[in-house]
Amino acid sequence: MTVAGAASTLNRQRRPHTTALTVVQGLTTTTNQELVIMAVIQISRIEIAALAERLMARAESRLMNGTPELQRDLRVAAIVLQAALSIGFPVRPIEIANDHG
């Protein structure tokens, strides 16, 4: 095995096993003759399902008992996402502009 191959294997072993959002670079606009590049985040069905689970867990947290409006909104958002997934939405990953860095 080459040194580069060993380093590559070592790097793969050290990486945490987490689900990450796919970021795609896309050209969006030019302003004052300056090229602006905005990242686009792609969110898959699996990531949407995980988001729905996290929103429901936050809604059911005792920390939210003092904010019933936020608790209700989180619960409804989770239910809407779960319902959308159950009828086959989205067919392909959703692309969202990452305006916030």
20-76 pLDDT, tens digit per residue, is: 555 555 555 555 556 666 788 999 999 999 999 999 999 999 999 999 999 999 999
Mean pLDDT of 3-8: 44
Q: For the chain, what are the domain ranges?
A: 20-97
How crowded is residue 74: how many other Cβ atoms within 10 Å of its Cβ? 20
90 vs 50: CA distance, rounded Å: 14
Distance CA 24, CA 41 (A): 6
pLDDT range class, residue 16, cuts 50, 70, 90: very low
5 has pLDDT over 60: no
Strand pairing partners for 35? 30
- Count CB atoms within 10 A of the CB of residue 52: 19
Contact 47, 28 (CB under 8 A): no
What is the rounded average pLDDT of the residues 93-101? Answer: 80
